[in-house]
Amino acid sequence: MPSRPRKLRLLWLQGVTCNGNSHAFLNLPWLDALLERFDIMYHPLLPSLYSLEAVAACDMTCDVLVFEGAFAPGLRRGEKGLGALLEHYAQQASYVVAAGSCASFGGMFKDAMPEGSGLAFVHDKPGGPLARQGVINLSGCPVHPEWLGYALMMIADNETIALDALHRPKALYSHLAHDGCLRNEYFEWKVDAKQFGQKEGCLFYEQGCRGPLTHASCNRTLWNEVSSKMRVGTPCFGCTEPDFPRRNLFETKTNMSIPEEVPIGVTKRSYLTLTGIAKSFRVQRLESRLIEDE
């Protein structure tokens, strides 16, 4: 009988973070199956083999290093400088994974910390402590648990993960958040929701939805297997992109009523031609509520 392959040793470290990615990870429906494939050396919330102090002694190695949060040069973890800690473990690891947008591009915390960065990127430019290392970026605020699960399972199975220019797995970040949104028909006919939480209407013009400008598969792989922001009636904030967090998240910037940015891959001329024509028709079914409030 062939012996089972050795389990990979996974170490989860944190920079400046809200713990959102750690928590999101716990919502992975098949977390148990995934954890079967790894020895957890340290994770802030999961049962771990070692304490943070033991990890900080830097006298062992890991196979997979997962990092959450923005990198801040002065930060210490378990009495060790974060930079030295990362350098030690990343050097030996076969894979380094940046979990969430702060670890990927700097995200929310970089915004308040000029010296901060992601692990290997500062926004969309290479930078940060591991800029020269092949880091897998799993952006998102927080990272979708299924995306992290996918990447770790691919690693456990020794499969190659194809990455885009920002080091994000193509399988997860090639589509737009707009793909699979249940409001697409409203987007096509340019009928916008008048308030949050309604089932009808697109959220692009009046609520600031970034779905057509954001690489993410939130509407193809649902959150907690049931939903997404747009499905419950709040706009996409573009949290997987290196310019997150943008300002005025509930607004789509327009110039003379015309959106400054149009869906990725579409020229403004063709977008305006199409929307102008779509707006010339009124689709009664889409303009009224489908189910009136009692």
Residues making contact with ligand SF4 (CB under 6 A): 177-178, 181, 183-184, 187, 202-204, 209, 211-212, 230, 236
247 contributes a contact to other proteins by CB under 8 A: no
Which residue lies nearer to other proteins by CB, 95 or 204?
204
What single string gives the DSSP state of each residue in 140-209? SSS--HHHHHHHHHHHHTT----B-TTS-BHHHHSSBTTTT-TTHHHHHHT-B-SSTT-SSSBSHHHH--
Backbone angles phi, psi at 10, to 5 degrees: -110, 130
Q: Considering the complex, state which of residue 26 and residue 264 has its C-beta at the smaller distance from other proteins.
A: 264
Residue 184 touches which of other proteins, ligand SF4, none (Cβ within 5-8 Å per kind): ligand SF4
Longest dimension (CA), the chain: 71
**Least distance to ligand SF4, CB of residue 230, Å:** 4
In the list other proteins, ligand SF4, none, the entry touching 138 (Cβ below 5 to 8 angstroms by class) is none
Instruction: State how far the Cα of 182 lies from the Cα of 212, in Å rounded to an integer.
Output: 13
Selected binder of other proteins within 256, 290, 292, 294 (CB under 8 A): 256
Among 3, 158, 160, 257, binds other proteins (CB under 8 A): 257
The residue range among 55-63, 96-104, 141-149, 271-279 that interacts with other proteins, by the rule CB under 8 A, is 271-279
Q: Which stretch binds other proteins (CB under 8 A): 53-61, 145-153, 172-180, 275-283?
A: 275-283
CB 256 within 8 A of CB 268: no
Contacted by 281, from other proteins, ligand SF4, none: CB < 5 to 8 Å by type: other proteins
Please select the residue that binds other proteins; options are 33, 258, 264, 266, rule is CB under 8 A.
258
CB contact set of 117 (below 8 Å; sequence gap of 6+)? 70, 71, 106, 110, 127, 128, 129
Min CB(173)–ligand SF4 separation in Å: 15
**DSSP-based three-state secondary structure for 227:** strand
**What does the per-residue mask of binding to other proteins show for 207-246, with x meaning CB under 8 A?**
----------------------------------------
CB closer to other proteins, 6 vs 269 = 269
Cβ proximity to other proteins, 260 vs 293, nearer residue: 260
Q: Which does 257 bind (CB under 5 to 8 A by kind): other proteins, ligand SF4, none?
A: other proteins
Q: How far is 48 from 40, CA to CA, in rounded Å?
A: 5
Please work out the total of residues on this chain that contact other proteins, with binding judged by CB under 8 A.
15
Contacting residues for 237 by C-beta, under 8 A, at least 6 apart:
141, 208, 210, 229, 244, 245, 246, 249
Q: Where are the beta strands (DSSP E) in the chain?
A: 8-14, 38-42, 64-68, 76-77, 80-81, 95-99, 121-122, 125-126, 135-138, 254-255, 258-259
Of 211, 224, 208, 68, which is closest to residue 145 (Cα–Cα)? 224
Say how many C-beta atoms besides its own lie within 10 A of residue 91's C-beta: 12
Q: By CB under 8 A, name the binding residues for other proteins.
A: 254-258, 260, 268-269, 272-273, 276-277, 279-281
